[in-house]
Amino acid sequence: MRVMLVSMPFANLRWGSLALGLLKSALQERGIGCDVAYLNFDLAERIGLELYHWIADSFAFVLGGERLFARELFGPQLPDDDRYWQEVLAVADPRLGHQEREDYLRVAGEVRPFLDDCARAIDWSHYAVVGFTASFQQTLASLCLADRIKRVCPATKVLLGGAACQGPMGVALLRQFPQLDYVFLGEADVAMPMLVAQLAQGRVGRLPPGVAGRENIAFLENAASSGGTIIKQDSTGREDTAIFGSVATATDGRRCFDAAISGSEASAASAQSTPSAAGRKQETAQIQQPEAAPEGSLPAGAIDNSVLVTDLDALPYPNFDDYFARLQRSPLRGQIEPMLFFETSRGCWWGQKHQCAFCGLNGPQLHFRSKSPGRALAELEHLVRRYGVRKANSADNVLDIRYLDTLMPRLADSGLALEFVYELKTNLSRRQVEQLVRAGLRAAQLGVETFSTSILRQIGKGATAAQNIQALKWFTALGVEVKWNLLYGFPGEDPHQYADLARLLPLLYHLAPPVAVGRVRVDRFSPYFRDPLRFGITNVRPHRAFGFVYPFAESVLWDLAYYFEYDYHDRRDPLRYAGPLIAAAETWQQLAGTVALHGFDRPDGVLLVTDTRPVAQQFQWRLAGAERAVYLFCDTARSWQSICRFVTELPPSDRLGQQQLEQLLDRWIAGGIMLHIDDRYLSLATLAPGLQDDRRT
Helix spans in 478-526 (H)? 497-504
Residue whose C-alpha is closest to residue 487's, from 517, 515, 509, 511: 517
Tell me the CA distances in angstroms from 462 to 312, 356, 458, 636, one per residue in order.
26, 9, 10, 18
Comparison of pLDDT for 246 and 468, the residue scoring more: 468
Taking residues 476-498, report their average pLDDT.
Answer: 97
Helices (H) and strands (E) in the chain, counts: 25, 26
Taking residues 392-416, report their average pLDDT.
Answer: 97
Judged against a pLDDT cut of 80, whether residue 175 lies above it is answered with yes
CATH of 597-687, one of 1.10.3470, 1.10.10, 2.40.10, 1.20.120: 1.10.10
Confidence band for 366, pLDDT divided at 50, 70 and 90 = confident
- In the three-class reduction of DSSP (H, G, I as helix; E, B as strand; rest coil), residue 444 is classed as strand
Taking residues 418-430, report their average pLDDT.
Answer: 97
**Do the Cβ atoms of 152 and 125 come closer than 8 Å?**
yes
Q: Which range, of 27-36, 288-297, 622-631, averages the lowest pLDDT?
A: 288-297
Confidence band for 220, pLDDT divided at 50, 70 and 90 = confident
- In the three-class reduction of DSSP (H, G, I as helix; E, B as strand; rest coil), residue 310 is classed as coil
Judged against a pLDDT cut of 50, whether residue 230 lies above it is answered with no
Give the C-alpha separation, 6 to 36, whole Å: 6
Taking residues 275-292, report their average pLDDT.
Answer: 32
Q: What is the pLDDT of residue 341?
A: 98
Taking residues 468-482, report their average pLDDT.
Answer: 97
**Do the Cβ atoms of 271 and 20 come closer than 8 Å?**
no
> What share of the chain has pLDDT > 90, as a percent?
81
Confidence band for 305, pLDDT divided at 50, 70 and 90 = low
Q: What is the pLDDT of residue 204?
A: 85
Confidence band for 292, pLDDT divided at 50, 70 and 90 = very low
Judged against a pLDDT cut of 70, whether residue 296 lies above it is answered with no
Confidence band for 501, pLDDT divided at 50, 70 and 90 = very high
Q: What is the pLDDT of residue 557?
A: 97
Give the C-alpha separation, 655 to 675, whole Å: 22
Q: Which range, of 2-16, 136-150, 630-644, 645-659, averages the lowest pLDDT?
A: 645-659
Give the C-alpha separation, 662 to 657, whole Å: 9
Give the C-alpha separation, 26 to 21, whole Å: 9
pLDDT tens string 121-135:
999 999 999 999 999
pLDDT tens string 33-90:
999 999 999 999 999 999 999 999 999 999 999 999 999 999 999 999 999 999 999 9
Taking residues 676-686, report their average pLDDT.
Answer: 98
Taking residues 459-466, report their average pLDDT.
Answer: 97
Q: Are strands 419-424 and 441-446 parallel, antiparallel or unpaired?
A: parallel
Q: Which stretch of DSSP H or E encloses residue 640?
A: helix 640-648
Comparison of pLDDT for 228 and 618, the residue scoring more: 618
Q: What is the pLDDT of residue 300?
A: 36
Q: How many CB atoms lie within 10 A of CB 108?
A: 15
pLDDT tens string 76-94:
999 999 999 999 999 999 9
Give the C-alpha separation, 687 to 689, whole Å: 6
Maximum CA extent, the chain: 88
pLDDT tens string 587-613:
999 999 999 999 999 999 999 999 999
pLDDT tens string 98-113:
999 999 999 999 999 9
Judged against a pLDDT cut of 70, whether residue 227 lies above it is answered with no
> What share of the chain has pLDDT > 70, as a percent?
87
Judged against a pLDDT cut of 50, whether residue 269 lies above it is answered with no
CATH superfamily, region 323-591: tm_1862 like domain (3.80.30.20)
User: Measured in whole angstroms, how far is the alpha carbon of residue 443 from the centre of its chain?
Assistant: 14
Judged against a pLDDT cut of 60, whether residue 259 lies above it is answered with no
Comparison of pLDDT for 306 and 549, the residue scoring more: 549
Comparison of pLDDT for 691 and 428, the residue scoring more: 428
Give the C-alpha separation, 229 to 241, whole Å: 8
Confidence band for 436, pLDDT divided at 50, 70 and 90 = very high
Amino acid at 447: G
Cis ω for the linkage preceding 633 (within 30 of 0): no
Comparison of pLDDT for 251 and 401, the residue scoring more: 401
Residue whose C-alpha is closest to residue 216's, from 195, 230, 200: 195
Q: What is the pLDDT of residue 654?
A: 86
**Do the Cβ atoms of 318 and 17 come closer than 8 Å?**
no
pLDDT tens string 343-364:
999 999 999 989 999 999 877 6
Taking residues 273-300, report their average pLDDT.
Answer: 32
Q: How many CB atoms lie within 10 A of CB 575?
A: 11
Taking residues 457-485, report their average pLDDT.
Answer: 97
Judged against a pLDDT cut of 60, whether residue 289 lies above it is answered with no
Q: What is the pLDDT of residue 365?
A: 73
